[in-house]
Chains A and B, each alone.
Chain A
């Protein structure tokens, strides 16, 4: 057998590691800022570019796609080369992938504060960036499959399976959820409307968690954990079972984000059932990870890498137990829209993704720099302050979540709601202060790590091209024995493996989504629900731009506590013209589904200029610039045309009358405000936002619901 000499590319691993550190710090800093804004509105810094609605998506995108994303690529590029006994397929593709991804991050960091957003959670970036993501993702896949195909290792270790599933599923999710019709360079409307948009979005949102934050890290766990502890994984069989059942089940669970909403009931039930079943593979994975440490716990005491892994995997276990519990309808009724969800995702993000990333960094950097870690003591310090940070973060958020959920539902003996919404806001304020302290501790630990890693890098020297050798694969290999058929079918043909993974994940998506799209009776239309007027449509776009959906839901669930507080519960048919849907997932402020007609125009005006004059104790940022900025109505015609293309029944030729209608309606509102001694020109942005808010939910307030099924 001939031995071939080749070199591993460590430079690309190092580059992704540096990007992970840089964007980790940036993402956490923005997170800290938004956390402070939730108890100190002045922290919005008095301008639109740093207001909560615009930079909260910046925080989530920075953490998910910049910090965790770069960490994934770092971990995959290192382990894939070793597991395939081959250099990455193409240095050029590696570099295009690296720089392309960083450019996308920069584009996100610029466009989100500017208010260019689709408003769909974790998919906020506008269409040109969506296309760039698709291209760069393909480059990543191309590079990965190229490496797998030219490998010098007969078998594909389970970590690679997880990487392949990650690649194909994220590609499918991103493409399906990003179907949008561009209006201009940075504005588009979702192809889907209302309930369908919600279903697609949470199919995406849930599986972004599954296939961006979970499967790549499980793959990395199956590689780096055995490496760090120097023994094979507890059960390889379990890891295979873990893999197939996890990717099969995850894809179905999306609707648990939409319980008690207007989504058809059968789809909700499916989501719940599969969420409960998900405990099995998730815990299988956790147990497999923790049991790999069996008999090696003495090493855990001394080795910070293993400490991070142990807590990270435990956090994974906790979050994946909690997830299915949260998807039980009775638990969800209390937890949904509250800080409980924030606590839940941060156990995952800080504990699982963060700690696994830190562990891998501490393990990997000294190796590619051929030196020892600068300071084990500092790494241990990081571990403890990080763990403390997670506790200080999670405990107050759980407490806050329970408080909100219970206070919102509490009635007096006379049968009236016991608390105003603002009472709950004030009640949890101090808990939010504690949360930001937790975040600060966690960030401090990360800064210590950056110092430690940079020191390690300066002491050592990067082995950019690491020499390695392995025998070439014989081309005429004939597998024998029982496993040979499966081996041939799956492992020797990575493309076949990819196709199989796609089929497995598509089954769930198709069964859930197709009926909602294909069967009319799933979404009942309501005859009194009419398309938005041009001014309302413009106001709706401002609502999207300012990220109002980050704090306000538009979805009244059929509970007495909600119908008493907000009005008639939401019907699927009310959203048929909503491209995109704006149901929201968090009630930092009250629901706005039936906001229309609740208050006067002047109330809204004053409230937007300074929320605290109307609602003492409110933590909403002021939006005074909306009263100064002039509406951009130049593309109103395009908007009407686009909406019509998407199925909104504007009359033929209406686009030519739209501007006239818009101005007329705006004039009416400014005249109405003038009666209350408020002077504002009818061409200001605030006018259109008021028009939109006053329209919300009024379609079925005005007349009785009539279903024309």
Chain B
């Protein structure tokens, strides 16, 4: 069935590297956003459950 669609793929190691790159990029993106977020916004958000 559909597992036979592709028979070969070169360099399966690519998957590990791809995963690492994707995660690192993702992680950096969020970290940058967090550091650039305004303090008032963060403070306001953290008080939401107590309103």
Contacts and interface: CB of A to CB of B under 8 A. Distances in A.
Contact of B34 (A240, A270, A516): A240
Nearest to A267: B15
A236 B46 contact: yes
Given A233-B46, A248-B26, A196 B19 contact: no
Nearest to B48: A157
A270 B17 CA distance: 10
Contact of A518 (B2, B18, B27, B46): B2
B50 A277 contact: no
A249 interface: yes
A244 interface: yes
A507 B44 contact: no
A675 interface: no
Interface in B2-24: 2-9, 12-13, 15-16, 18-20, 22-23
A165 B27 CA distance: 17
Interface of B: 1-9, 12-13, 15-16, 18-20, 22-23, 26-27, 30-31, 33-34, 36-38, 41-50
Contacts of A222: 49
A83 B13 CA distance: 45
A232 B8 CA distance: 54
15 contacts: A155-B44, A155-B45, A157-B48, A226-B46, A232-B47, A233-B49, A237-B34, A237-B37, A245-B26, A266-B15, A483-B36, A511-B19, A517-B3, A520-B4, A647-B1
A196 B38 contact: no
Interface residues on A, range: 35 or more
Contact of B49 (A227, A508, A517, A519): A227
B37 A482 contact: yes
B16 A269 contact: yes
Interface string A447-483: 0000000000000000000000000000000000111
A226 B49 contact: yes
B3 A523 contact: yes
Contacts of B36: 482-483
Contacts of B26: 244-245, 248, 504
A241 B31 contact: yes
Contacts of A523: 3
Interface string A510-527: 010001111111010000
A511 B18 contact: yes
A206 to B, nearest CB: 16
A482 to B, nearest CB: 5
A482 B1 CA distance: 51
A249 B23 contact: yes
A118 to B, nearest CB: 20
Contacts of A157: 45, 48-49
Contacts of A521: 7-8
Given A277-B23, A482-B38, A517-B2, A241 B30 contact: yes
A266 B49 CA distance: 44
A248 B49 contact: no
A244 B49 contact: no
Interface string A265-284: 01001100110010000000
A486 B30 CA distance: 11
A252 B9 contact: no
A196 to B, nearest CB: 7
Given A270-B15, A518-B9, 14 more contacts: A155-B44, A155-B48, A230-B50, A233-B49, A236-B46, A245-B27, A266-B13, A482-B36, A518-B5, A518-B6, A520-B4, A520-B6, A520-B7, A520-B8
